[in-house]
Amino acid sequence: MGLTLSYRLAIFDLDGTLYRGEEPIPHAVEAVARLRSEGVGIRYLTNNSSQTRAFYRDKLRRMGFEADESEISSSATGTAAYLTSEGFKTAFVVGMPGLIATLRSAGLEVVNESSQGHALAAGPQAEVVVAGICLDFTYALMAAAMNQIRCGAKFVATNPDATFPLEGGRFTPGAGSIVAAIQTCSGVEPFVVGKPNPYLIQLILGEANCSPADALVIGDRMDTDIESGTRAGCATHLVLTGVETQAPQGQASSPDLRGL
């Protein structure tokens, strides 16, 4: 039975599944286009919180993927949805301008935002500390986040990824490294919005009016992509183009997206 007959929706991870850094993974563009032509709905889901939906739309289009903002979700958009659903209004952010802009667009006040949209290592007390990937991470920023939490702010992490893949088979530290540092000094375990929490997938399924049984989650990491799909009740498919080099027994997989 072909994928078209089995699933209404395909939810693709980005880093390591469709591209590495600025390079599309071989056969990925063709695989996604084929599914679209067969009537399968496409959604893009990244744990990377550093950029806005518009950024990911433009990046995907540059690489040859058809993409619309409405098809793109991230741990940043999911964090914004979670914070607003919980009634938070102010946040101290350890993250990139894309995360800050995403939270601000959802009506949240970022108390440590600079005039250029970056995270400052100081700000008034907030209701919640949000930590994600942060290339500007410093000891001072960690200390400020710690003190925010110790003074009563809740702690929310965009995602726990220890690394993410780049071009040429390289890796770079992920948000999980920063989250772990803040957790260690604050003594508080965060609520994690992104994968492996099924929350982001559940949001997508709700927006698409699609049942878990009708969706397939595709990714390159067992501990985040595949785990979140499984926990959401969806079928999963692992590709060996990113983090994982071998599939566990019983896990549907392929060397690349041609296996779909």
Residue recorded with tokens 């990113």: 242
For the stretch 60-106, pLDDT in tens is 999 999 999 999 999 999 999 999 999 999 999 999 999 999 999 99
pLDDT digits (tens, 9 = 90+) for 126-161: 999 999 999 999 999 999 999 999 999 999 999 998
Strand partners, 91: 110, 128
The band of 21, judged by pLDDT with boundaries at 50, 70 and 90, is confident
**Average confidence score pLDDT of the chain:** 95
pLDDT of residue 1: 42
CB atoms within 10 A of CB 193: 28
Angle in degrees, CA 86, 91, 94, rounded to 5: 125
pTM: 0.91
Residue 47's closest CA among 83, 21, 73?
73
Residue 9 CA to residue 51 CA, distance in Å, equals 24
pLDDT digits (tens, 9 = 90+) for 167-206: 777 888 999 999 999 999 999 999 999 999 999 999 999 9
Q: Which two tokens stand for residue 246?
A: 């071998």
State pLDDT tens for residues 45-72: 999 999 999 999 999 999 999 999 999 9
Marked catalytic residue, from 13, 161, 220, 225: 13
What pLDDT is attached to residue 152? Answer: 98
Residue 174 CA to its chain's centroid (Å): 11
Distance of CA 182 to the CA centre of its chain: 19
Does the annotation count 15 as an active-site position?
yes
